[in-house]
Amino acid sequence: MKFAVITFPGSNCDYDCYRAIRDHLQCPVEYIWHREDSLRSCDCVILPGGFSYGDYLRTGAIARFSPIMRRVTEFAQRCGPVIGICNGFQILLESGLLPGAMLVNRGLQFICQPVHLRAENTNSPFTASLKPGQIIRIPIAHKEGNYYADDRMIRQLEDNGQVAFRYCDPQGRPTPEANPNGSINNIAGITNRRGNVLGMMPHPERAMDKLLGSDDGRIIFQSIARHLGGGAC
């Protein structure tokens, strides 16, 4: 079971993801530079957070044309698990592997703070170890995390159970006050229809150790490991 962390120019959470896998999950993990043309037989792809290509034009808009993204797309189409965190989520949206787009946060500010998330769909490889409705607390750090899709797409996401996480208050209520950025329906993370691609704005890799405030992010990586150990999706 081997993980790939894709590094783009401007990625800055790649080492956190690498360490989350190597030290906490104790699984093999490799960096793959965005200009490479092979995923080197990795079993799970992580698109880390950061500011790929300086967020020029739109977040993720240029990174999606990096050579490795062709391989990531093929991998996702073959049902391989792909997780995009923060800028990684934005890249997945731009590449069309996930529906919708990101707008600037409602308050226009870059927000860096812990948030509560409610697990909505626990059937994906990334959320299978969570209980439905389980609340975890992990940080966000973004300026463009205001998830948008048109009404029809939002209905489809909700009806198909593609909303993986919602921003909520400590009691698990997805209130307007608990919504940090203005995302429609408090959406913090979604999967594709088949469930093998997850995009989420909050950073599980920054919540791997109680010493740093929370280790609630571990369960997401543990879910993936368990999934990879137990057959395909």
Burial of residue 9 (number of CB atoms within 10 Å: 0-12, 13-18, 19+): middle
Q: Which stretch binds another protein (CB under 8 A): 28-36, 37-45, 116-124, 141-149?
A: 141-149
Of residues 80 through 119, those in contact with another protein by CB under 8 A are 93-94, 99-101, 103-108
Please give the radius of gyration of the chain, using alpha carbons only, rounded to the nearest integer. Answer: 16
135 touches another protein by CB under 8 A = no
Is 94 a known active-site residue?
no
Closer by beta carbon to another protein, 33 or else 65: 65
Q: Which of residues 150-169 bind another protein (CB under 8 A)?
A: 150
Type of residue found at 11: S
Q: Quick check: 59 and 102 in contact, CB under 8 A?
A: yes
**3-class secondary structure per residue, 64-109:** HHCHHHHHHHHHHHCCCCEEEECHHHHHHHHCCCCCCEEECCCCCC
Contacting range for another protein; rule: CB under 8 A; set: 7-15, 60-68, 198-206, 212-220: 60-68
Task: Work out the number of other CB atoms within 10 angstroms of the CB of residue 71.
Answer: 21
Q: Does residue number 62 form part of the binding site for another protein (CB under 8 A)? A: yes
Q: Which of 28, 35, 38, 57 is close enough to bind another protein by CB under 8 A?
A: 57
Q: Which residues bind another protein (CB under 8 A)?
A: 57-58, 61-62, 65, 93-94, 99-101, 103-108, 146, 148-150, 182
Which residues are known to be catalytic?
A: 86, 203, 205
